[in-house]
């Protein structure tokens, strides 16, 4: 993918995440692959709603910084997922209110209340709390690299996809499912037969 186009695209999705209150202020980080060995990632400590294309940092899949700027402290988490999942081309990590509420309570997120939750997300693991940016957090996320989406205890959420749109859609769906779970209380899941059918789809 052309780097100039990729910068514009990633910044556009960062603004969408901010405008839809899926992330706030400097929280979270987003990235996408361009080519086989380069990644664009959001810079450390910057408001995601105010980013410009030139603010994004170019890094290699080996972690070397290839442009100006300081990459997110969560870069290791992104690199681990890219290096473990060949199909992953984009990652979204942010702190949506309802997802983070469930993660703060260390509750399991139910994705089988609606068909869309099953289809887009599958099972969502809860990653135990580790300090943001730490090797322990990177290792814990890497251990669940096959999951489309994850919650991180007292931290937030992370999704991955074959495109930035798919990663974004999963984050939006993840927050919807978290809100639905909180709003509906003890609503029953879909019958397991239906969940199995949807999973096979």
Give the N- to C-terminal CA distance of the chain in Å, as an integer.
Answer: 29
Instruction: Read off the pTM.
Output: 0.94
Compute CA distances 28 → 25, 43, 75, 122, whole Å: 9, 10, 11, 22
Q: List beta partners, residue 127.
A: 152
Q: What pLDDT sits at residue 41?
A: 98
In this structure, what token pair is assigned to residue 76?
């290791």
In the chain the domains, ranked by start, together with CATH numbers, are: 3-200 (3.40.225.10)
Instruction: Select which of 3, 52, 54, 74 is catalytic.
Output: 74
* pLDDT at 115 > cutoff 80: yes
| Mean pLDDT across the chain | 95
Residue with tokens 């969502």: 124
The 3 state secondary structure assigned to the chain is CCHHHHHHHHHHHHHHHHHCCCCCCCCCEEEEECCCCEEEECECCCCCCCCCHHHCEEEECCCCECCCCCECCCHHHHHHHHHHCCCCCEEEEECCHHHHHHHHCCCCCCCCCCHHHHHHCCCCCEECCCCCCCHHHHHHHHCCCCCCEEEECCCEEEEEECCHHHHHHHHHHHHHHHHHHHHHCCCCCCCHHHHHHHHHC
* pLDDT at 1 > cutoff 80: no
Q: What pLDDT sits at residue 200?
A: 87
* pLDDT at 119 > cutoff 80: yes
* CA neighbor of 109 nearest in space, from 149, 146, 60: 149
Q: List beta partners, residue 156.
A: 152
What's the CA gap between 28 and 21, in Å, rounded? 12
* CA neighbor of 30 nearest in space, from 68, 72, 62: 72
Verify whether residue 74 is a known catalytic residue.
Answer: yes
* pLDDT at 126 > cutoff 90: yes
* CA neighbor of 40 nearest in space, from 18, 61, 19: 61
Q: What pLDDT sits at residue 201?
A: 82
* pLDDT at 185 > cutoff 90: no
């Amino acid at each position: 993918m052309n780097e100039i186009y990729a910068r514009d695209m990633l910044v556009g999705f960062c603004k969408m995440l901010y405008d839809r209150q899926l992330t706030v202020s400097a929280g979270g980080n987003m990235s996408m692959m361009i080519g086989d060995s380069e990644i664009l990632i959001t810079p450390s400590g910057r408001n995601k709603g105010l980013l410009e294309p030139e603010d994004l940092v170019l890094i290699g899949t080996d972690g070397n910084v290839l442009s100006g700027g300081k990459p997110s402290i969560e870069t290791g988490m992104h690199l681990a997922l890219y290096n473990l999942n060949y199909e992953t081309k984009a990652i979204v990590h942010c702190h949506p209110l309802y997802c983070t509420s469930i993660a703060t309570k260390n509750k399991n997120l139910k994705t089988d209340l609606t068909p869309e939750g099953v289809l887009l997300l599958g099972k969502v693991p809860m990653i135990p709390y580790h300090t943001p940016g730490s090797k322990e957090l990177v290792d814990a996320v890497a251990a669940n690299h096959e999951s489309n989406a994850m919650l991180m205890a007292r931290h937030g959420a992370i999704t991955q996809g074959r495109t930035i749109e798919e990663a974004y859609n999963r984050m939006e769906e993840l927050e919807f499912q978290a809100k639905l779970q909180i709003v509906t209380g003890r609503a029953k899941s879909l019958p397991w037969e239906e969940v199995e059918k949807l999973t096979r789809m």
